[in-house]
């Protein structure tokens, strides 16, 4: 019988929250699980991009330009949203422009500035690039509908925490919006409130991308969020 060598983990700190003595801490296992899901998403998008002769970055940019079309993004905006340098993004946008998928236009607010928008051909590719049918089917198969809302809420809270720490750019999510009022209702299913449409929200109602989003003032947002979180511990 062949004996396997003991598994080696990145951390030498083992978990006390499991019956397995050689388990890494729960947080490390959560991060490893998130990384595997992200890998599946990256591989899927890279494959769809390759079918259209695009790199994954070019595909990411095309999707972002389409999603943020109402903001008439500039190169600097795209670079900030993706956490990349302006030269890297400018080069990728140039490649998309040469392929007839995006075009540059003068910014109506500043004629010296240039915005980027999808052409009709580029917009036609967006639906295919952005839809990961296999991953969506896996989520629907593996996660019951009631759990999906709770998972979405937890992921948005993690994203918001990363934004507060400056580790990723702020995006147009409910939880970073000035209209979002967390834990405003004594309703376990819909505890939050959107002041814009004056309605209660549950985790399943929260948006990852909202065209009506307006940035919340940092100090006020942090105080409201932490106060609500602390009261529910």
CA distance 203 to 198: 16
In this model, does residue 229 exceed pLDDT 70?
A: no
| Confidence band for 9, pLDDT divided at 50, 70 and 90 | very low
Confidence (pLDDT) at 219: 52
In this model, does residue 218 exceed pLDDT 70?
A: no
The string over 145-172, giving b where at least 16 C-beta atoms fall within 10 Å of a residue's C-beta and e elsewhere, is eeeeeeebbeebbebbeebbeeeeebbb
Largest CA distance in the chain: 75
Share of the chain above pLDDT 90, in %: 41
Confidence (pLDDT) at 50: 94
| CATH 1.10.10.10 residue ranges for the chain | 34-130
Topology given in CATH for the domain delimited by 34-130: Arc Repressor Mutant, subunit A (1.10.10)
In this model, does residue 193 exceed pLDDT 50?
A: yes
Confidence (pLDDT) at 164: 81
Contact assessment for residue 174 and residue 201, using Cβ atoms and an 8 Å cutoff: yes
In this model, does residue 31 exceed pLDDT 50?
A: yes
**pTM for the model:** 0.72
CA distance 61 to 75: 10
- Rounded mean pLDDT of the chain? 84
CA distance 124 to 122: 5
């Amino acid at each position: 019988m062949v004996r396997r060598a003991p598994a080696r983990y990145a951390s030498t700190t083992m978990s006390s929250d499991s019956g397995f003595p050689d388990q890494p801490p729960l947080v490390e296992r959560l991060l490893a699980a998130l990384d595997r899901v992200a890998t599946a998403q990256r591989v899927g998008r890279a494959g769809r991009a390759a079918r259209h002769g695009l790199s994954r970055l070019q595909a990411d940019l095309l999707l972002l330009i389409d999603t943020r079309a109402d903001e008439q993004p500039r190169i600097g905006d795209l670079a900030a949203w993706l956490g990349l340098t302006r030269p890297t993004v400018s080069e990728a946008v140039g490649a998309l422009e040469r392929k007839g998928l995006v075009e540059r236009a003068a910014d109506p607010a500043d004629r010296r500035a240039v915005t980027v928008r999808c052409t009709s051909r580029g917009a036609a590719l967006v639906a295919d690039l952005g839809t990961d049918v296999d991953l969506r089917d896996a989520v629907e198969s593996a996660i019951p509908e009631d759990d999906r809302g709770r998972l979405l809420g937890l992921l948005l809270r993690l994203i918001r925490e990363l934004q507060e720490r400056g580790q990723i750019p702020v995006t147009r999510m409910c939880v970073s919006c000035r209209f979002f009022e967390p834990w405003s209702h004594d309703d376990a299913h819909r505890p939050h409130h959107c002041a814009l449409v004056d309605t209660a929200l549950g985790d399943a109602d929260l948006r990852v991308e909202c065209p009506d989003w307006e940035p919340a003032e940092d100090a006020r947002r942090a105080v409201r969020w932490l106060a609500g979180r602390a009261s529910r511990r």
